[in-house]
Every structure is written in C-alpha cells, then in structure tokens.
Structure 1
C-alpha cells in the first residue's frame, strides 16, 4: 500500500517538488566540505541530492519510491553529475557506521514518532565524527497553513524535540520561522518551518 502511494505520488511527468534545491539547504553551501560523502535521506526525485553532487560531494540518495529515484537519475544526468541511488524502506534500512560527512534530511516528516526516532538514531550512527547535519521540517503551526507536509501533528518538529534529539551535538543554527516556499506543487505558500544545522561531536 505505502509503496503504491509513493510511486503514484511521483508518477506525474513533472517534478512534484520541482528541480531546484530546497532554499534552506542551498543557503548552507558555505558550510559544506570541499569533498566527501553525503547522504540525502528520502530524497524523492533528487532535487537536493543532485544539488549536493553539484557542490562536489559524492552523494548517496535513498528513497522508498523506485519511480522517484528513476526521475532523480534523469535529473542528475541532465545536470552532468553522478548520483548513487538506493531504494530503501527507512523502517528497515541498515544505517552504516560513520561513513558520511554530510546528511541532508529535508521534509522527511512522513515519519511518525517511532520511525523518526529510528531515523534520528541512524543519522547519529551514519555521520562521521565532525560530520554535518542539515535538516528542515515543518512545525505544528503548519497545520494552519496547509501548504504542504503531513496532517499528523505528531510528525511535526518543535525546537524542544530537535534540541533533545541532538542534545550533545554542536548546534550551529536552529531557527523557527514562517516563510514562503515554492517547491513545485508539493510545497507552495507560506509555511511554518524549523531549520537545524548541527555538527556531530568529535570524541
């Protein structure tokens, strides 16, 4: 059922969330290492993974939908970059140990609290010491805007939730804001957002 849902959602001829990178992600280009490995979590049709590859990173893009990943590969080819793609169910995916320099987790709020805890634990595990997490999501106030995101309030982020999830990391940026985003027909309009940039500690 879930597989069909996501494949159908991405089956249109257009790119549901557009082909440009998430604006918050792009604004953090100055923090990226000159080279290294990046993981794009639930990267869909590839807009963020392709952008990371354009910055010189070796990108591993994972998503539940094979339809979306096929479009991601086409997008990468059209922009002259390589993208390693993997179809993955994040409820079962085996997160590697300390292999990525960057993890991008942009609007991954299909995850309920149990799955979110698993994903956040996976991010802790998969980033190298000193690695960078770039995360953006919706706050509960997004339910008033209805311009994208889930309808389940428990899937949304608060400042306290993110501070607790990454409480021993160096927080470089954490901001709540209401901003207009235009990302295809999937995210369009005023939105209640929260941004996190955090660095995994070096032990």
Structure 2
C-alpha cells in the first residue's frame, strides 16, 4: 500500500518538515532515528540542521524519494527498509528518535516503542506526533482504525523510564500534503530517557 501511495512524482505528505518537529528540533542530538520516515521530509530537514539521520520505513519507494529530496536540499541521509512489526533498532545507538504520524496496530506500536526506548542513550529524546483517537470522526488525515490512533496516556505508559517534557492532546491545523490537510486532533509527546 505504501509503495503504491508513494509511486507518484509529487511528495504526497509535502516536502517541508512536520511543524511540531521543526518547533522542537533544537532538543535533538544525533544520531537521530526517524521511524516510518516515508518520503524523507523530516529526515532531510534534520540533516539540514547538521544531524546524522537514519530514516527507517517499510517502503523502498518512499525511501528512494527521501534520498532525492535530501539531494535536492544538499544533504545526505541514511535509510533502511524495514517492517516496523519486526524492526529492531540497535540498543543505545541514538541521541534522539522521531516518530511523526507513525501509525500501526497497537501491539506493533507497543513492541516498537519498547525497543525504541532501549535504542536511546541516557538523556536521549523521543519526539512523537500522531493522530489521537478523536481524529477517527474526521476526514483530514490518519488511519480509519481506532487501534492505530493514539492517546497521550498510552504513550506515557509506553515510555516508563523517561522524564516527560510534554504530553498533550490538542487540535491544530495540519497542512502536510494532500493526505494530511485540515483541522486535526493530535497527540504531541516529548520525553527524555533517564
């Protein structure tokens, strides 16, 4: 499904970074792991800030576009094609992990978040934005399955050995390509590994 979605000339989620990520990028140190990176808009942006970035996604088509976007912006990124249901990031390897609209079934997300927590060095930052459960009734983006949407309380439980810097559910306009456009209910979460 993702290869098919990305197999067009346009960048379906846009070429600019997620606004929440851009607002808080100063908290991040490298190397950065970006899960479900897609077409590279966030990885290319972080690389433009001088960070070493590894973008991981299940779509080889999306990651090929990510390299094109990075080249267009005059930066280099690293990528890895991997199924999030089986992906195992190396322990203690990252200064930050970024998860922007990385929606997957709850059991897959919980497994991945446990491994992501271990992949961060002490003091490392997890930064996440995702559609919350109230988004289900809107047609402005996000999955149509409740289990793939998130709640701030769930995310807090999935990162137990972290100091929470921000955990909130808000409404904001998300304008990120043709699939994420309009008023949206989102979860925003930033935490630091103890």
The TM-score bracket by the shorter chain reads: over 0.9
Mapping for residues 153-172 of structure 1, pairs under 5 Å: 153-172=146-165
CA distance in 1, matches of 2:178, 2:117: 32
CA distance in 2, matches of 1:32, 1:119: 20
171, 179, 186: which is aligned to 1:186?
Answer: 179
RMSD of aligned residue pairs (Cα, Å): 0.9
13, 16, 23: which is aligned to 2:19?
Answer: 23
Residue 79 of structure 2 is aligned to residue 85 of structure 1: yes
- How big is the shift at 1:178? 0.6
Q: Matched residue of 2:53: which SS?
A: strand
Greater Cα shift, 8-17 or 162-171: 162-171
- How big is the shift at 1:100? 0.4
Q: Matched residue of 2:155: which SS?
A: helix
Name the residue aligned to 1:117: 110
1:166-202 deviation per Cα after TM superposition (whole angstroms, max 9, x unaligned): 233101111211111100001000000010000011x
Name the residue aligned to 1:45: 39
Residue 131 of structure 2 is aligned to residue 135 of structure 1: no
- How big is the shift at 1:159? 1.9
1:144-180 deviation per Cα after TM superposition (whole angstroms, max 9, x unaligned): 2221110111111112111211233101111211111
Query: Mind listing any 5+ residue stretches in structure 2 that lack a counterpart?
Result: none
Residue 49 of structure 2 is aligned to residue 55 of structure 1: yes
Distance change >3 Å, CA 30–CA 94, structure 1 → 2:
closer
Query: Mind listing any 5+ residue stretches in structure 1 that lack a counterpart?
Result: none
10, 13, 26: which is aligned to 1:14?
Answer: 10
Q: Matched residue of 1:28: which SS?
A: helix
1:2-53 deviation per Cα after TM superposition (whole angstroms, max 9, x unaligned): xxx11101011100100000000001023123xx200010100000011111
1:59-101 deviation per Cα after TM superposition (whole angstroms, max 9, x unaligned): 0111111110110000000001110011111112222010000
TM-score (norm. length: structure 1): 0.93
CA distance in 1, matches of 2:95, 2:26: 14
The answer to whether the Cα contact below 8 Å between 2:125 and 2:190 also exists between their aligned partners in 1 is yes
CA distance in 1, matches of 2:58, 2:147: 21
CA distance in 2, matches of 1:198, 1:139: 18
- How big is the shift at 1:135? 0.2
